[in-house]
Amino acid sequence: MQRYFIYLAYDGTAYHGWQIQPNGASVQECLMKALSTLLRREVEVVGAGRTDAGVHASLMVAHFDSETPLDVTFMADKLNRLLPPDISVYSLRAVKPEAHARFDATARMYKYYVTTAKVPFNRRYRCRLFQTPDFERMNEAAKTLFDYTDFTSFSKLHTDVKTNNCRIMHAAWTQLDEVTWVFTVQADRFLRNMVRAIVGTLLEVGRGKLTVEGFRRVIEQKDRCRAGTSVPGNALFLVDVAYPENIFLGKEDALSAFVF
């Protein structure tokens, strides 16, 4: 068996998230069906994470096993022909047999976009704000995230994870234009609904409903009910997944041509 990492992107609007669902379309299911058609056998696909319903990815990574070595350029092209228009494969890369798309990831990065303008073309990919919050104060609150590892307050309740500990490496708001801001957050792992809950709580700080110290207390209380309402998923993008280079076989290929 040869294991491969697939680098792909998708518009999550039409899907109930990455993971296979009993009563809804998922990105994982679409990818598995396409691979099974090409390889003429059932293929299991494991993703680097589980994006929620409506959430997008400009870069997701998944792995699968092949019984024979594959022409990665040919496979990427064939997969793109089979997959729907809202899922695109960038490239495939051979990895060591024990490499794992989820467990070997050392960092993941998300971006959340907000806008204060009503622009029809952005409605699927931006969260509309009806007043401009204090982004400077929100950035001050975001810095407190580095002081903690237990983010139970920002986790969806009743999940099956063993720990709510995460190490946040980057968290900041930046302005893209006169009406658009983006929150970029990077961590070694994320909990279910974590980014959307953090953004929702930061917006409470920006609107003056919560102080920076109040934001700190929300984290320390380890209670989801103390945090703000989760923002909509349509403005959230998974944009990067990092891995140690020693799990790959051969040199980096055409993936380097893409800018995420």
Quick one: which of 137, 209, 198 has its CA closest to 171?
198
Instruction: Pick the catalytic residue from 52, 86, 160, 253.
Output: 52
Integer-rounded Cα Rg, in Å, for the chain is: 19
Pairing label, strands 2-10, 168-175: unpaired
- Side-chain half-sphere CA neighbours of 140 within 13 A: 12
Is 253 one of the catalytic residues? Answer: no
Q: Are 7 and 90 in contact (CB under 8 A)?
A: yes
- Say how far apart CA 19 and CA 120 lie, in whole Å: 29
Distances (CA, A) of 12 to 32, 52, 165, 204: 16, 9, 27, 26
Q: Are 86 and 26 in contact (CB under 8 A)?
A: no
Pairing label, strands 127-128, 236-242: unpaired
Q: Any residues with CB less than 8 A from the CB of 245 and at least 6 apart, and which?
A: none
Catalytic residue numbers? 52
